Amino acid sequence: MTIKGEPQVHDTPTTSPAKVMRGLLPCRILFPQDAHVPSFPAMSSTIDTLLAGNRQFIKSEFQPNAEYYRTIATKQTPKVLWIGCSDSRVSEHQMTGSKPGTMFVHRNVANIIAFNDGNISAILEYAMVHLKIEDIIVCGHTRCGGIAAIEDGVHENYIADWLCIGAGAKAKADEIARARGLSREEKLVVLTEENVKLQIQHLKSLCIIRNMIEKGPLPRIHGWLYRVEEGRVDVLVDGRNAAGGPSPVTVPARRKTRTRR
Ligand SMILES: [Zn+2]
């Protein structure tokens, strides 16, 4: 029996390794039953706290605003795409005082926009073509572990490869830090800012954005820095005044196709 308003628990269906090997089922289902790996103790007070928090959310937020949540349950209509860092301290809805349904969200380590990332490309396509979002916010934050790793160098395989995409920002920050004689802390803030600007350039260079330039209208593009020590947002790139779309992007001229006679 389930109690109305209680979080629901669903059991993972059992499966066989053979089905997984044949690609019939996602391999993650194999893990709990078949792998003998050490794990944390079964009790988790953190998870209990989260579930208790959900009950509190239903009581203090969801039920008093039932009409709003009923409306967004039928359809989401966010006007903003948020591209931020995965950091646990950076919550886009909380920091902007927004309700669920306000922003379509993509987060990864160091708020990076990569050229060969099918994940972000699909998100952009869905956000622009189907949701018709009007604004894209790329938000970095102070005390970012990813940014510190770009500065110090990191040797773990996947993280190192990923953070290479921010290498251009480090070159710029190195230059600025040398010229201004910045401390390490000051330089990390500059590197975070330069990384936001670099990722915006990456964003503008993606095919989906470049192709939309010809079709329009394009979303306005904004670059923000969230200061985790103060809860404050600094606007680095202000897209609010960009009439009809983001600031111009240099698009390579198309070659004219010769017609054979
Ligand atoms: Zn971060």
Catalytic site includes residue 141: yes
Q: For residue 110, how far is its CA from the centre of ligand 1 (angstroms)?
A: 5
Which ranges of the chain would DSSP assign to H, the alpha helix?
Answer: 17-21, 30-34, 45-57, 66-74, 92-95, 118-125, 145-152, 157-163, 167-180, 184-205, 207-215
Q: What is the pLDDT of residue 260?
A: 41
Catalytic site includes residue 87: yes
Catalytic site includes residue 85: yes
The yes-or-no verdict on residue 206 having pLDDT over 90 is yes
Residues 146 and 153: their CA atoms lie apart, in Å, by: 10
Per-residue pLDDT tens for 47-83? 999 999 999 999 999 999 999 999 999 999 999 999 9
Per-residue pLDDT tens for 83-114? 999 999 999 999 999 999 999 999 999 999 99
Taking residues 17-32, report their average pLDDT.
52
Q: For residue 189, how far is its CA from the centre of ligand 1 (angstroms)?
A: 12
Does 78-237 carry CATH code 3.40.1050.10?
yes
The yes-or-no verdict on residue 24 having pLDDT over 60 is no
Q: For residue 139, how far is its CA from the centre of ligand 1 (angstroms)?
A: 9
Q: What is the pLDDT of residue 87?
A: 98
Taking residues 198-221, report their average pLDDT.
89
How many helices and strands in the chain, by DSSP H and E? 11, 5
Summary mean pLDDT of the chain: 85
Predicted TM-score (pTM) of the model is 0.81
> Which three-class secondary structure string do you get for 100-127?
CCCEEEEEECCCCCCCCCHHHHHHHHHH
Identify the active-site residue in 85, 117, 135, 220.
Answer: 85
pLDDT category, 172, cuts 50, 70, 90? very high
Catalytic site includes residue 238: no
